[in-house]
A and B are shown apart, each in its own frame.
Chain A
């Protein structure tokens, strides 16, 4: 079936550094999402993105977070600077429309902030 790819699979960085998580969504999909899952806790919505713009962001999407998808390349989540509480698995998802269509999830990037 359709696949969403995420690079890297693991990232370990020191607190205060910048990190960029990359997502290669399903081709022809128009809506893109980031979710955060802390080990043993609920999957939580961070942000959705359509037509080059953030549509909605949750309270977890702090000012240090940003997303972009320049010219159809990777959909990226940048955190600058990182904090200890940013340690989690970040899942990217994409869908062909935003509403009643299935979201396909990538394998996740495990981020560890030391």
Chain B
């Protein structure tokens, strides 16, 4: 059964600091990883996706992927109070028509 594990469960980071979130899949067939952000009571919005080994940066957000270990991480630098949210990692497989398997999420709180 496909499983996506995220750590830590919750994280408190001071404003201006760096937040680092982790995600690992147990399914070797996974082709794509997605990071979504969900503010309380709202829908998930995609932050970044990564499909190949290495690193991708967009503004304050950097995502890494190690395909051998099926581990991805999201790093947020210069964290802002508006970054406080639930961060969801999801994985998908090429032949599964886009079905996303989500982790349980990391609750990030940025302390002013």
Contact = CB atoms under 8 A, between A and B. Distances in A.
Interface of A: 4, 31, 33, 35, 41-45, 48, 50, 55-56, 91, 95, 97-108
A100 to B, nearest CB: 6
Given A42-B105, A43-B102, A50-B97, A99 B46 contact: no
Interface of B: 31-32, 34, 36, 42-46, 49, 51, 88, 90, 92, 94, 96-105
Which of B36, B44, B51, B105 has the most chain A CB atoms inside 10 A of its CB?
B44
10 contacts: A31-B97, A35-B102, A41-B104, A42-B102, A45-B101, A48-B99, A98-B97, A101-B98, A102-B49, A103-B98
A55 B99 CA distance: 10
Contact of B100 (A41, A103, A108): A103
Contacts of A91: 43-44
